[in-house]
Amino acid sequence: RLKQCLSSRPLPQLNFDHFQILRAIGKGSFGKVCIVQKKDTEKMYAMKYMNKQQCIERDEVRNVFRELEILQEIEHVFLVNLWYSFQDEEDMFMVVDLLLGGDLRYHLQQNVQFTEEAVKLYICEMTLALDYLQSQHIIHRDIKPDNILLDEKGHAHLTDFNIATIIKDGERATALAGTKPYMAPEIFHSFVNGGTGYAFEVDWWSLGVTAYEVLRGWRPYDIHSSNTVESLLQLFSTVSVQYCSAWSKEMVALLRKLLTVNPEHRFSSLADMQTSPYLSDVDWDAINEKKEDAGFVPNKGRLHCDPTFELEEMILESRPLHKKKKRLAKNKSRDNSKDSSQSENEYLQECLEVVQQEFMIFNREKMNYYLKILFWGGDDIVRQWLRQPLLASRDRNFVAYFLGFMLG
């Protein structure tokens, strides 16, 4: 059986030419996002691409590499999962799950009135996502409506691990990282007063702020990016959150537990959430299998993103993606005719070479292919091990890449 698996055709090294670019759907401080279709399987994905030179100039390469490192090690039903990563001379690419339902920020801007039942499902789905991340020692640090995407049936998925961090063996994070209105009080306290830092509890505070905002239309605290850290610490110690009288008492009680200033008393685990009377009727297995109907289902007849992204890419972008192949060919011929010693910026060239060498290539399709070989070609003990539902993604990755290395 193993010989039959090994005789099948190996998967090729992936690059930009394996995808058909369909349209631009978003942009952020670290790159742009477009819908793509993989040519051989015709499967649709979202492709995030980041210009190498811009990342170097903004000192963002480390963040991109950290996000890649984290995404390669995780996979969960309520995350936006990484499928491929590759690079060319200009850009770094991440190909991830395509979620066509739009993010919660977009729907808030469209004045969608989310019901309590809809928000309850988001809380449950994000609880399972955070519980998984915690088991992988990951703090997301940027949970907000902008980073929660809906699929076509209305289920929530967490994205953007650009400022996420990994803590192990009782470690604590200390960096002032996040989006101010969603950052937990202990992050600011650690920055001002030092001390022991913070841990996974900060993500549960952000979930509380997000749930409150999606339900009410505005955040529990009037915080903006211009607020000083000192003023925010004073705000948390003096201002009480006002809850809507129309909300159920159980929902309010749950939000109070998430928005508890003292992290030691805050709900910050799946076990904590399961003690909430508001969630006492939740079938967590059904949630995990997406068997619960969403209270809000995005309209399938439209694309839930700002239409100006596509216009900007086509008209204003100086290096549009759809002209990349022709542009790279022209640059290559220009480079061949120019003495490399006449480089205008030797430092930039050195940095680009480092990025080229250090970039982490990933192919989840190939990883699954090798795991399948191991499963069907291995003995019963190996198959039993691979069936474990809680087997760490990094363990699967190691086995798959080791087998891939051994097979050449």
Say which of 142, 151, 160, 203 is annotated catalytic: 142
Domain ranges of the chain: 14-99+306-367, 104-288
Residues of the chain with pLDDT under 70: 1-12, 28-30, 306-344, 370-408
What global pTM score does this model have? 0.84
pLDDT for 168: 87
Structure tokens at 288: 């995990």
pLDDT for 30: 65
pLDDT for 399: 58
Q: Which residues contact 300 (CB under 8 A, 6 or more apart)?
A: 152
Q: In CATH, which superfamily holds the domain spanning 14-99+306-367? A: Phosphorylase Kinase; domain 1 (3.30.200.20)
Structure tokens at 273: 């959430």
pLDDT for 25: 86
Structure tokens at 40: 């051989």
Interatomic CA distance for residues 186 and 370, integer angstroms: 44
Interatomic CA distance for residues 140 and 161, integer angstroms: 6
pLDDT for 305: 74
pLDDT for 365: 87
Interatomic CA distance for residues 178 and 96, integer angstroms: 22
- SS3 sequence of the chain: CHHHHHHCCCCCCCCHHHEEEEEEEEEECCEEEEEEEECCCCCEEEEEEEEHHHHHHCCCHHHHHHHHHHHCCCCCCCECCEEEEEECCCEEEEEECCCCCCEHHHHHHCCCCCCHHHHHHHHHHHHHHHHHHHHCCEECCCCCHHHEEECCCCCEEECCCCCCEECCCCCCECCCCCCHHHCCHHHHHHHHHCCCCECCHHHHHHHHHHHHHHHHCCCCCCCCCCCCHHHHHHHHHHCCCCCCCCCCHHHHHHHHHHCCCCHHHCCCCHHHHCCCHHHCCCCHHHHHCCCCCCCCCCCCCCCCCCCHHHHHHHHHCCCCHHHHHHHHHHHHHHHHCCCHHHCCCHHHHHHHHHHHHHCCCEEHHHHHHHHHHHHHHCCHHHHHHHCCCCCCHHHHHHHHHHHHHHHC
Per-residue pLDDT reduced to its tens digit, 180-228: 999 999 999 999 888 789 999 999 999 999 999 999 999 999 999 999 9
pLDDT for 315: 47
Neighbour-count burial of 319, counting CB atoms closer than 10 A to its CB (0-12 exposed, 13-18 middle, 19+ buried): exposed
Does the annotation mark 335 as catalytic? Answer: no
Question: What is the rounded end-to-end Cα distance, in angstroms, of the chain?
Answer: 19
pLDDT for 379: 57
14-99+306-367 shares its CATH topology with 104-288: no
For 21, other C-beta atoms within 10 Å of its C-beta total: 17
| CATH architecture type of domain 104-288 | Orthogonal Bundle (1.10)
27 assigned ligand-binding residue: no
Per-residue pLDDT reduced to its tens digit, 44-100: 999 999 999 999 998 999 999 999 999 999 999 999 999 999 999 999 999 999 999
The bridge status of strand 148-150 relative to strand 138-139 is unpaired
